[in-house]
């Protein structure tokens, strides 16, 4: 190979290395490129681990058709090579450790003739395979800070005319050192990018965990929505027929959507815990039902006082007085039990029950010499909440978490491959028919990714317990989703896929309690007719 050809190949390798994003492929490109330029039969790349050991990342020997690591899918079974003994003394008897510890290239013409290095492992390999390891070129890989991050080792340079094993010339050594330098920069950049991405992933998952910890009743929601989202997204992207056949996602698209799923509730960091975890209608910092209970005790006390006064006064039969007393006491007990049940909340409170709360609240009692109703206006307002435990104002506080999510995410300078994260995360409460919040988006304004996340969020919420309701069974959950589809709230094509591929069941077996997993008859899911 002429020197100009080698330089051109070196330039091509440099360009390719700068563009490669996958670390195993990058390592493989480094080794294959170095072997091609030097016409070496074999080679190995080691990476420095914590400045203590050398880990073999990829090894190839063409004449033996031997390849491990890199993109081969074959793991390297060899243990990392220590660079120091237990007392901290440098181990320089192996050529790769010597190269790192002394920051020097080692060019050996014939391993069997060289003194000072331990090639016993090489000889053992040769005996087992019939191979003859002869010329070695070991080059440290230094990054932009002149820190050695790995070693590039080539074995058995071959004459281009007859493939005879020859030593590595000074020219080949210089070219290999140039490749090692380029490779170190590319490898450092890739490792830096990977470490930053890993840190980012760890941060968003830490945030999701913190949000889940705000409420024991919605725990794991932020961590489970991404699971359902990814299941449905990958299924939709793999579809080859039907209305979703043209929807395809790259690995980068999947990563972007998964990031959005992990961050979809990040705005809840500002939501007060007493609202997020409001288990009963009268709960704020504490549950005011206990104060109401004390007032019922005052009413019972007043009944008892009235009874005793009537008995002392005479005129009425004691039996009649006691009978009236027991009847009114039973009424108080029944009313208190009703108020306590109303306080727990539920998915629906009838107009009749709301009216009864107001009627009971009119009972009067005397506290500190002042007459007052059993229930004040604030308590009546809370106890007559028609659904759940939150007042409209508290519900608005909860709903504002989506607006805050959008605001928080739009303030982050996401790279291009993550630029849709704010849209996807901020639209998980939007509805196809425009009835969702916070922006009232509808139809084509909602990308498929946002529609996927909406279904995932609803499904997880229905199958998870809340302060005012138990976790729903699968069959009931799927019926509710069916009704939402008929009402135009969620994407019907995605729901069909969710049903057809039984993704709900796959998720259930891994994350739901066994008693929730009942039989789901697809024929009874509203809107589904396949």
Tell me: the pLDDT tens digits for 132-175?
Answer: 999 999 999 998 888 899 999 999 999 988 889 999 999 999 98
pLDDT of residue 311: 84
Query: What CATH class has 214-275+393-524?
Result: mainly alpha
Q: Where in the chain is the domain with CATH 3.30.450.40?
A: 3-193
pLDDT of residue 160: 84
Q: 3-class DSSP state for residue 367?
A: strand
Q: Where in the chain is the domain with CATH 1.10.3210.10?
A: 214-275+393-524
pLDDT of residue 487: 93
Query: Which residue bears the tokens 């016993």?
Result: 120
- Residues 465-474 have pLDDT tens digits of 876 677 899 9
- Evaluated on CA atoms 252, 256, 261, 263, the torsion sign reads positive
- CA 15, 18, 19 angle in degrees (round to 5)? 90
pLDDT of residue 220: 83
Q: Which of 3-17, 174-188, 256-270 reaches the highest mean pLDDT?
A: 256-270
pLDDT of residue 12: 66
Give the pLDDT mean for 25-51: 90
Percent with pLDDT over 90 in the chain? 52
| Statement: residue 446 has pLDDT above 90 | yes
Kindly report the pTM of this predicted structure.
0.69
Higher-pLDDT residue of 399 and 300 is: 300
Q: Which fold has domain 3-193?
A: Beta-Lactamase (3.30.450)
Give the C-alpha distances (Å, rounded to integers) separating 446 from 436, 449, 456, 496: 11, 8, 15, 18
Q: How many CB atoms lie within 10 A of CB 470?
A: 10
Give the pLDDT mean for 35-62: 93
The conformational region for residue 143 under phi > 0 = left, psi -120 to 50 = alpha, else beta, is beta
| Statement: residue 356 has pLDDT above 70 | yes
Query: Which residue bears the tokens 């609240």?
Result: 361
pLDDT of residue 273: 63
| Statement: residue 421 has pLDDT above 80 | yes
pLDDT of residue 181: 85
| Statement: residue 207 has pLDDT above 60 | yes
- Residues 270-291 have pLDDT tens digits of 766 666 666 666 666 566 778 8
Give the C-alpha distances (Å, rounded to integers) separating 290 from 76, 276, 280: 66, 21, 12
Query: Which residue bears the tokens 């890739």?
Result: 190
Give the pLDDT mean for 108-114: 93
Report whether the peptide linkage leading into residue 438 is cis, meaning its omega lies within 30 degrees of zero: yes
Structure tokens at 475: 């069959």
| Statement: residue 210 has pLDDT above 60 | yes
pLDDT of residue 264: 92
Computed over every residue of the chain, the mean pLDDT equals: 87
Structure tokens at 476: 């009931």
| CB proximity list for 46: less than 8 A, separation 6 or greater | 54, 55, 56, 57, 81, 96, 150, 151, 153
Give the C-alpha distances (Å, rounded to integers) separating 89 from 83, 85, 92, 94, 307: 8, 5, 9, 14, 95
Check if the beta carbon of residue 260 is closer than 8 Å to that of residue 449.
Answer: yes
Give the pLDDT mean for 330-334: 91
Kindly state the helix (H) or strand (E) to which residue 140 belongs, with its residue range: strand 136-142
Q: What are the strands, taking DSSP E only, across 339-455?
A: 364-367, 370-373
Higher-pLDDT residue of 210 and 1 is: 210
- CA 390, 392, 393 angle in degrees (round to 5)? 95
């Amino acid at each position: 190979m002429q020197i100009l050809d080698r330089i051109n190949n070196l330039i091509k390798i440099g360009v390719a290395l700068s563009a490669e994003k996958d670390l195993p492929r990058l390592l493989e490109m480094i080794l294959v490129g170095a072997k091609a330029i030097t016409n070496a039969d074999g080679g190995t790349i080691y990476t420095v681990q914590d400045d203590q050991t050398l880990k073999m990342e990829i090894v190839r020997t063409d004449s033996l058709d031997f390849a491990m690591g890199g993109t081969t899918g074959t793991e390297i079974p060899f243990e990392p090579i220590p660079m120091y003994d237990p007392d901290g003394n440098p181990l320089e008897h192996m050529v790769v450790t010597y190269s790192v510890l002394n920051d020097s290239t080692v060019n050996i013409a014939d391993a069997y003739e060289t003194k000072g290095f331990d090639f016993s492992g090489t000889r053992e390999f040769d005996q087992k395979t019939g191979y003859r390891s002869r010329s070695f070129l070991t080059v440290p890989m230094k990054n932009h800070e002149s820190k050695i991050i790995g070693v590039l080792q080539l074995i058995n340079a071959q004459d281009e005319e007859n493939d005879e094993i020859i030593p590595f010339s000074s020219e080949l050594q210089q070219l290999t050192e140039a490749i090692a330098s380029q490779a170190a920069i590319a490898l450092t950049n890739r490792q830096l990018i990977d470490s930053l991405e890993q840190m980012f992933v760890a941060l968003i998952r830490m945030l999701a965990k913190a949000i889940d910890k705000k409420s024991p009743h919605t725990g794991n929601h932020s961590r489970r929505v991404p699971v359902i989202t990814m299941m449905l997204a990958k299924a939709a992207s793999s579809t080859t027929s039907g209305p979703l056949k043209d929807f395809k996602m790259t690995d980068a698209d999947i990563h972007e959507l998964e990031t959005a799923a992990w961050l979809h509730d990040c705005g809840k960091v500002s939501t007060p815990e007493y609202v997020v975890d409001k288990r009963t209608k009268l709960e704020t910092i504490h549950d005011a039902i206990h104060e109401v209970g004390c007032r019922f005790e005052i009413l019972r006390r007043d009944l008892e006082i009235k009874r005793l006064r009537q008995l002392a006064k005479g005129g009425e039969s004691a039996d009649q007085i006691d009978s009236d007393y027991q009847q009114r006491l039973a009424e108080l007990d029944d009313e208190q039990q009703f108020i306590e049940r109303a306080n727990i909340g539920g998915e629906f409170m009838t107009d009749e029950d709301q009216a009864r709360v107001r009627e009971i609240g009119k009972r009067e009692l005397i506290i500190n010499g002042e007459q007052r109703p059993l229930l004040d206006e604030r308590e009546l307002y809370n106890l007559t909440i028609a659904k759940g435990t939150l007042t409209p104002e508290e519900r608005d506080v909860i709903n504002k978490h989506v607006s805050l999510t959008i605001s928080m995410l739009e303030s982050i300078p996401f790279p291009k491959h993550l630029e849709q994260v704010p849209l996807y995360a901020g639209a998980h409460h939007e509805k196809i028919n425009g009835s969702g919040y916070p922006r009232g988006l509808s139809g084509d304004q909602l990308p498929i990714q946002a529609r996927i996340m909406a279904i995932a969020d609803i499904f997880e919420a229905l199958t998870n317990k809340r302060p005012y309701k138990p976790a729903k069974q699968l069959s009931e959950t799927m019926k509710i989703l069916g009704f939402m589809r008929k009402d135009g709230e969620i994407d019907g094509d995605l729901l069909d896929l969710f049903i057809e591929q039984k993704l709900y069941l796959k998720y259930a077996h891994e994350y739901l309690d066994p008693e929730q997993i009942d039989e789901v008859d697809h024929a009874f899911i509203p809107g589904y007719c396949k």
